[in-house]
Structure 1
Amino acid sequence: MTAARAARGCAAAAVFACAGLVVLLGFGSTVEMESFPGLRENLAPAVVYLLVFAALLAVCGLALAGRRSRAGWGAVAVIGVLMAVRSWTLAPMLHCWSYDSVGRNDDGSYSCVNRGNMLP
């Protein structure tokens, strides 16, 4: 194995790790919205952008690793599963895209609120 190939493999691993961290950041940024009832800031659009960025990072990591790299495809599969789980839990609140706040109801549904409209 040449030094250039090893460097590309290490760079691909770093890019895959960054993609995984971006997806986990998406989980962490909305966990309060999903766990507790009440109004919270609507971070769902930001999480969608994070998922798109993670997908681009995964593609870049695969390009660095090489098309025939089994480890690269395995990392893409793991990141893809994480993104699918994140999308599954994020989907119910996406109808509130243009609102600045999301309220989680007791039954698990989400209500959309613009806090500016709540002023007297």
Structure 2
Amino acid sequence: MKPKIDSTSFGSITVEGKAFEHDILIRLDGRVEKRTKKLSKALYGTSHKISLEEAEHIYEEGTEKIIMGTGQTGFVELSDEAEAFFRKKRCSIELLPTPWAIERWNELEGRIVAMFHVTC
């Protein structure tokens, strides 16, 4: 079941009434997990650029679309390798500032995974 995202503010996101004070990943089955941003930070020194390794962690077989909340002001971006990986999997991706990504997540249906960065 796809959970509804209630709101976000700098440093937090609320999903189905539960507040998280860290970046999150929402899986195809609706599970909410803490984002494993160390996968990107180890390579780039920042979690604002999604590495191939993190892209492989985000993607689940059968995912048709990924919604990526790029932060309150939109700092997160994909590496070229991550973008190529999603393209190879024929998985479309939408990168939007987190407040807009939440709106998009709540309106979409289908086999969708999401990652939301809650700062910057």
TM-score normalised over the length of structure 2:
0.27
Structure with greater strand percent? 2
TM-score normalised over the length of structure 1:
0.27
